[in-house]
Structure 1
Amino acid sequence: MNSSKKRVVLPSRPEPPSVDQILEDINRAEPSDPVFSILRKRGADVARPADGEVEEKFQQCRQYVELNERLQEARGQLLRQREELRAAGERLKKEVAEVEGQTL
């Protein structure tokens, strides 16, 4: 055996797509997309989940998307509030410095 083989450095894995990227991809897909046609062809061969399971999974996905949107809105609101608090802190520091300057 030749022990002087160089190790191949593999590239790092890409980040998984975001929910927005997945939804955009699904919405842009044409009905003639090969993935959809493959799924239709295999539909008879694959055991299909019960309609109740499909509906449950759909509702779970919908709830996840809604919750994700609410979290994004809350994040934006928190960022705005943080900026407002930072600005208020700066104003307070200036006012304290003015008051201290007047008492000297």
Structure 2
Amino acid sequence: MNIVSKSKKRVVLPSRPELPTVEQILEDINRAAPNDPVFSILEKTGQDSSPPADSEVEVRFQQCRRYLELTEQLKEAQGRLQQQREELQAAGEQLDKEVALVKDQVL
């Protein structure tokens, strides 16, 4: 008895594109016109039965802006903390060396 296996040809899918960076997203948002469709997408998809009031849109916009500002501040703080950590590590190593020298002189 002869069993023949048919191998399926594998389809090579295209690779997934890279996600945009925060800077690219911000640049895109800043270049968008006020009447850009992205700002009215909920209206067109019917996800929101009534369009939000102007004040609600403004509140959401300000929340998004504040989130982005805080994110940027956190990145800056992270950089400062990393630098301070490295400085403290270097100071600790120098202190260890000096303590070892003092111990050698005492003995």
When normalised by structure 2's length, the TM-score is 0.67
The match for 2:82 is 79
Q: Label 1:48 to 1:5 Cα distance change in 2 as closer, same or farther (>3 A).
A: same
Q: 2:92 aligns with which of 77, 82, 89?
A: 89
Q: Number of residues paired by the alignment?
A: 95
Give the 3 Å change call, closer, same or farther, for CA 30–62 of structure 1 in structure 2.
Answer: closer
Q: Unaligned regions of 5+ residues in structure 1, if any? A: none
Select the structure of larger CA radius of gyration: 2
| Residue matched to 1:18 | 21
Give the CA RMSD over aligned residues.
Answer: 3.1
What do residues 23-60 of structure 1 show as CA deviations (whole Å, max 9, x unaligned)? 12333x375xxx93xx2xx89x8363322331121021
Is structure 2 residue 68 aligned with structure 1 residue 65?
yes
* Consecutive unaligned residues in structure 2, runs of 5 or more: 45-49
Which fold has the larger relative contact order, with Cα–Cα distance below 8 Å and residues 6 or more apart in sequence?
1
Identity of aligned residues (%): 62
Q: Following TM superposition, by how much is the alpha carbon of 1:69 offset from its aligned partner in structure 2, in angstroms? A: 1.6
TM-score by length of 1: 0.68
CA distance 1:97–1:26, change in 2 (3 Å): same
